[in-house]
Amino acid sequence: MANKKIALVTGGNKGIGFEIVRGLLQAGCRVYLGAREAAKGQQAVAELAAEGDVLFLEVDLNNPATLAAAAAHLQREEGYLDILVNNAGINVAGDGSPATADVRSVEQVLQTNFVGTLAVTQAFLSLVKQAAAGRIVNVSSPLGSLTIVGQNDWALLGYSASKAALNMLTVQLAYELRNTGIKVNSAAPGYTATDLNGFAGTDTPAQGAAEAIRLALLPADGPTGTASSSAGVLPW
């Protein structure tokens, strides 16, 4: 038990997050499954109980009180956090092209996907610093790449901007922590079938989770400050 890595996965009750939790459990980690709704989080924990050491933790990106309470709980129970996977995120109706996107919808997506993820990262960063070799993984998207979006007709301004901002968090935090053992990277799942896209994706959630799991378990000589998918490094 003492040798287990301690992990927290936000938005872990469904989709890619659920499969990230499963993968980390199979790797021998003790995983705190973060979710904003207790009933759904507890149900997911029950479904994964046979896979390993999994516990529920209330984490709502837009509710600072839950972040403070969760961090305090982990400090009491564990004293450190080896792995933080920032997976939780939203896509909302009303997002669209720069000419048509509803401004409030764009604001809502940015608030959750970027500002909320920043709040989570700040809430748990001191715990990651107390680990022997912390890992922070931000679940991003190819839609967060300026290069890729500039070559495709992907008109989701708010979602794309939120993931581009998340990539900026990755590179700035990686640089800030460059003299520590902590590695910070962005993982792009690819076009995964989840409720975020009405299950229209071509990849399974397990496939979508693979890169985040790999980055969460990076060895000491692994990269930091990168964005990648299972196919390799992505352009900014």
Give the mean pLDDT of 155-166. Answer: 97
Give the mean pLDDT of 25-38. Answer: 98
pTM as predicted: 0.94
* Residue 154 pLDDT: 85
Q: How many domains does the chain have?
A: 1
* Residue 193 pLDDT: 56
Confidence of residue 204 (pLDDT cuts 50, 70, 90): confident
Give the mean pLDDT of 142-158. Answer: 93
Q: Rounded to an integer, what distance in angstroms lies between the CA atom of residue 183 and that of residue 171?
A: 10
Q: Rounded to an integer, what distance in angstroms lies between the CA atom of residue 165 and that of residue 169?
A: 6
pLDDT digits (tens, 9 = 90+) for 54-82: 999 999 999 999 999 999 999 999 999 99
* Residue 192 pLDDT: 62
CATH of the domain at 102: 3.40.50.720
Residue 174 lies in a domain: yes
Is residue 53 within 8 Å of residue 76, measured between CB atoms? no
* Residue 67 pLDDT: 98
Give the active site residues: 159
Residue 177 lies in a domain: yes
Give the mean pLDDT of 196-210. Answer: 76
Task: Classify strands 135-139 and 83-86 as parallel, antiparallel or unpaired.
Answer: parallel
Residue 1 lies in a domain: no
Residue 218 lies in a domain: yes
* Residue 221 pLDDT: 96
Q: Rounded to an integer, what distance in angstroms lies between the CA atom of residue 76 and that of residue 130?
A: 13
Contacts of residue 140, Cβ cutoff 8 Å, sequence gap at least 6: 163, 166, 167, 170, 186, 187, 188, 227
pLDDT at 29 over 60: yes
CA angle 12, 227, 83 (to 5 degrees): 40
Range of 176's domain? Answer: 6-233
Confidence of residue 48 (pLDDT cuts 50, 70, 90): very high
Is residue 74 within 8 Å of residue 49, measured between CB atoms? no
Q: Which of 89, 117, 68 is nearest to 14 (CA)?
A: 89
Q: Where are the strands (E) in 97-204, listed by range?
A: 135-139, 183-187
Q: Where do we find the tokens 């400090």?
A: 75
